């Protein structure tokens, strides 16, 4: 199964455009990307190691009630623009796909 990066990019641009129309966005924020394991090839430590080498901070979330475990990859102090979010999302997604994970959205937090 191949991943549709064009659809993912369009969804990201539409989401941040919608958020920006309804809210004042910070200039900079920490970007969080969420990844779910897919099948037997999902290897948490290998994905975390690969993303960490690319500048992401990784956290495994396994204790959410009624939710599957997932990985959060955060890249700190990034511009809150569609282009910046997409670039970071695409890099993290390509790495995640190589390690048996699929993207499951993004978010951001600012101080």
- Residue 19 dihedral angles phi and psi, to the nearest 5°: -60, -45
51-54 long-range contacts, Cβ below 8 Å, gap at least 24?
51/92, 51/95, 51/96, 54/91, 54/92, 54/95
The pTM (predicted TM-score) of the whole model is: 0.92
pLDDT 10s digits, 49-69: 999 999 999 999 987 677 788
Q: Give pLDDT, residue 62.
A: 86
């Amino acid at each position: 199964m191949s991943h549709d990066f064009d659809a993912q990019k369009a969804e990201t641009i539409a989401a941040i455009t919608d958020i920006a129309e309804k809210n004042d966005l910070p200039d900079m924020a920490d970007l969080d990307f969420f990844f779910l394991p897919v099948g037997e090839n999902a290897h948490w430590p290998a994905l975390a190691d690969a993303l960490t080498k690319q500048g992401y901070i990784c956290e495994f979330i396994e204790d959410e009630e009624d939710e599957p475990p997932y990985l959060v990859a955060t890249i700190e102090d990034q511009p809150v623009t569609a282009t910046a979010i997409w670039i970071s999302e695409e890099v993290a997604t390509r790495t995640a796909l190589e390690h048996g994970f699929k993207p499951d959205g993004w978010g951001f937090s600012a101080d």
